[in-house]
């Protein structure tokens, strides 16, 4: 076989294959054409290798076919593009879709914590049930509560806080489908915070309590509310699947909320850094609270601005059809 003559006859098809294989987006007709060319050029390559297996032409056609095969299988090679899509589109969309549930979880938490704080802070009987003596109350308010934030090195403390909060959030997402685990987590954490606030209220030192809670707590607690909202979203998909089957609804929401779980790792890392380095720092109280407020504001701007745009474009935070296993050949 004359390789030069063979190339002259089929060169246009090879060039077209290379062009389509590297084109960023394909129409339906172009995808069909690419598949046909892939099959045709595979035959050409076999013929060429039977005559001259080690040539530049053979290597060139192999590379073009490999790129075309990548398009068919939907494989991704641009990690940075995927990473940018996750943080700019998928994650804010997933946060945005549960924004109202996040706020409702936060409201329920505040009501329960506030009720406990008022009960313990204004009722001597309730205060005695929590602390057996005035000395124990004073020790907690003046020493134990404050020392908790500074008794360990900042980096070590931040890591421990991150791990603990990530564990709580993971439970909320993973066991949210049960329907009772999220209310349980919310109640137990609200109760704990309310009792602590009640002890400070009883001693007239709520300013100290807020100076240590607000810098990191604004974002840290919001992260817990987000995780709880994600868990409730899965539960509600099971209860009210809509036009989808119950299994499909749970699978769709579950994949979307994996996105949230991954995003919360970063959110909780930031709040852990604030708790480890800002909360116990000698900065003025107003500066520490301002830092916490800026972190929280950053989250909501990120969610509402980028998330709204992504959701309007049809993004849910779920995997695309190819990654989810709904199709095996990508156009």
- Same domain? For 121 and 259 the reply is yes
Q: How far is C-alpha 66 from the chain's CA centre? A: 33
Tokens 């852990």, residue? 272
- Same domain? For 21 and 67 the reply is yes
Lowest mean pLDDT among 21-35, 50-64, 88-102, 110-124: 50-64
Question: What share of the chain in percent tops pLDDT 70?
Answer: 87
Long-range contacts of 294-299 (CB under 8 A, 24+ apart): 295/218, 295/219, 295/270, 295/271, 296/218, 296/219, 296/222, 299/95, 299/219, 299/222, 299/267
- Same domain? For 62 and 83 the reply is no
- Same domain? For 67 and 133 the reply is no
- Same domain? For 251 and 105 the reply is yes
Which residue segment(s) compose the domain that 179 sits in? 79-313
- Same domain? For 252 and 117 the reply is yes
Which of 7-16, 37-46, 297-306 has the highest mean predicted lDDT (pLDDT)? Answer: 297-306
**Given a cut of 50, is residue 326 above it in pLDDT?**
no
- Same domain? For 115 and 232 the reply is yes
Lowest mean pLDDT among 57-61, 217-221, 300-304: 57-61
In this structure, the dihedral spanned by the alpha carbons of residues 166, 185, 157 and 201, taken in order and rounded to 10 degrees, is: 150
- Same domain? For 88 and 56 the reply is no
- The verdict on residue 321 lying in a domain is no
- Same domain? For 49 and 87 the reply is no
| Predicted local confidence at residue 330, as pLDDT | 37
- The verdict on residue 28 lying in a domain is yes
**Given a cut of 60, is residue 117 above it in pLDDT?**
yes
| Nearest-angstrom CA–CA distance, 312 and 184 | 34
Count of domains observed in the chain: 2
pLDDT digit string, tens, across residues 229-286? 988 888 888 887 777 777 777 777 777 777 888 888 888 888 888 888 888 888 999 9
- Same domain? For 91 and 223 the reply is yes
| Predicted local confidence at residue 68, as pLDDT | 79
- Same domain? For 47 and 165 the reply is no
């Amino acid at each position: 076989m004359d390789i030069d003559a063979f190339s002259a006859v089929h060169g246009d098809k090879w060039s077209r294959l290379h062009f389509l294989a590297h084109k960023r987006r394909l129409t339906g007709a172009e995808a069909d054409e690419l598949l046909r060319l892939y099959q045709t050029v595979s035959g050409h390559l076999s013929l060429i290798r039977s005559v001259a297996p080690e040539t530049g032409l053979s290597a060139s056609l192999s590379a073009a076919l490999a790129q075309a095969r990548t398009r068919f299988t939907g494989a991704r090679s641009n990690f940075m593009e995927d990473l940018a899509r996750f943080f700019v589109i998928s994650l804010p969309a997933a946060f945005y879709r549960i924004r109202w549930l996040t706020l409702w979880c936060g409201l329920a938490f505040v009501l329960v914590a506030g009720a406990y704080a008022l009960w313990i802070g204004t009722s001597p009987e309730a205060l005695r049930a929590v602390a057996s003596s005035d000395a124990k109350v004073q020790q907690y308010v003046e020493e134990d509560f404050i020392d908790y934030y500074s008794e360990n090195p900042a980096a070590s403390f931040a890591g421990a806080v991150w791990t603990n909060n990530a564990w709580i959030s993971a439970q909320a997402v993973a066991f949210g489908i049960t329907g009772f685990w999220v209310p349980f987590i919310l109640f137990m954490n609200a109760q704990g915070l309310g009792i602590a606030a009640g002890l400070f209220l009883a001693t007239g030192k709520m300013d100290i309590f807020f100076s240590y809670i607000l810098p990191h707590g604004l974002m840290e607690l919001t992260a817990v509310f987000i995780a709880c909202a994600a868990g409730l979203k899965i539960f509600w998909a099971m209860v009210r699947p809509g036009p989808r089957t119950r299994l499909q609804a749970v699978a769709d929401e579950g994949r979307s909320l994996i996105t949230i779980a991954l995003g919360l790792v970063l959110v909780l890392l930031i709040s852990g850094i604030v708790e480890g380095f800002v909360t116990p720092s000698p900065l003025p109280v107003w500066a520490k609270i301002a830092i916490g407020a800026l972190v929280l504001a950053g989250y909501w701007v990120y969610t509402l601005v980028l998330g709204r745009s992504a959701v309007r474009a049809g993004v849910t935070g779920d995997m695309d059809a190819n990654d989810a296993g709904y199709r095996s050949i990508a156009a």
